[in-house]
Structure 1
Amino acid sequence: MIEIATSPTTTTITVTGDLDLMEREQFPEIAARVTGLRRQLLVIDMCRVSFMDSTGAAFLISLADAGRKRGGATALRGCSDRDLFVLEVCGALELFRVDEGHACPPLVAPGLV
């Protein structure tokens, strides 16, 4: 699942679950919505991503590239080492600011609260 939230200067995309080939049908619509919002900063919250393949990486790269062409920036928050490696192998890690200071909220199992 991908959710979009905005503030006057920032768009935040929160990804939950897999960011992969199976989710690709929603990528064009989300990219169009994000691009249409025209915020200077795009934050991609990856705290709840369980798996990302090259299709998911290509989606993130396209978002970052579109923002850069408009003079904006894209930040990754809560990105796993594995996902950072995928972006690095794609030669695209330099398109992103990596928020290394972010601490993801802990997962709470249902019924344990």
Structure 2
Amino acid sequence: MIEISTSPTSTTLVITGDLDLAERDQFPEVAARVVGLRRQLVVIDMCRVTFMDSTGAAFLIALADSARKRGGAAALRGADPRDLFVLEVCGALEMFRLDPDHRCEDARPASDFSAPATT
């Protein structure tokens, strides 16, 4: 499930559950809605994401690319090291601002996966 909220300067997506091939049917509608809101910053809250595959990564990459084309940015908060690794393997991690200070309220159990090095 993807919930969208807005402020005067940002759009926030709160993603719950899997972000994968099985959920891809909702991605075009969500992306169109986010683009239509025309906010400079797209914040993607991944605190409740349980799994992400390359299809989910492609969706996030499309959101970041769209924000960049409008002169804005995309920020990830609460992303698990596994999710960051998927974006890194896709060569897209640098497209996102990472929020290292964010602490998820209902944090999922930490994985044993090591976080990728970021520059």
TM-score by length of 2: 0.89
Q: Which residue of 2 aligns with 1:101?
A: 101
Does the alignment pair 1:86 with 2:91?
A: no
Choose 98-107 or 62-71, whichever is displaced more: 98-107
Does the alignment pair 1:38 with 2:38?
A: yes
Counterparts of 2:106 and 2:40, CA distance in 1:
29
Residues 23-65 of structure 1 show CA distances to partners (whole Å, capped at 9, x for unaligned) of 0000000000000000000000000000000000000000000
Counterparts of 2:76 and 2:42, CA distance in 1:
9
Q: Which residue of 2 aligns with 1:9?
A: 9
Q: Report % sequence identity.
A: 76
Gaps of 5+ in 2: 108-119
Residues 40-97 of structure 1 show CA distances to partners (whole Å, capped at 9, x for unaligned) of 0000000000000000000000000010011000000000000000000000001000
Kept in 1, the 8 Å contact 2:47–2:106? The answer is no
Counterparts of 2:53 and 2:72, CA distance in 1:
25
Counterparts of 2:106 and 2:93, CA distance in 1:
26
Tell me which amino acid in the other structure corresponds to 1:87.
L
Question: Following superposition, which runs of at least 4 residues in structure 1 exceed 4 angstroms of deviation?
Answer: none
Counterparts of 1:12 and 1:85, CA distance in 2:
22
Cα drift, residue 106 of structure 1? 2.6
Counterparts of 2:82 and 2:99, CA distance in 1:
15
SS in 2 for 1:42: strand
Counterparts of 2:98 and 2:80, CA distance in 1:
11
Q: Which residue of 2 aligns with 1:62?
A: 62
Counterparts of 1:64 and 1:6, CA distance in 2:
16
Task: Provide the aligned length of Structure 1 versus Structure 2.
Answer: 107
Gaps of 5+ in 1: 108-113
Does the alignment pair 1:24 with 2:12?
A: no
Counterparts of 2:55 and 2:79, CA distance in 1:
16
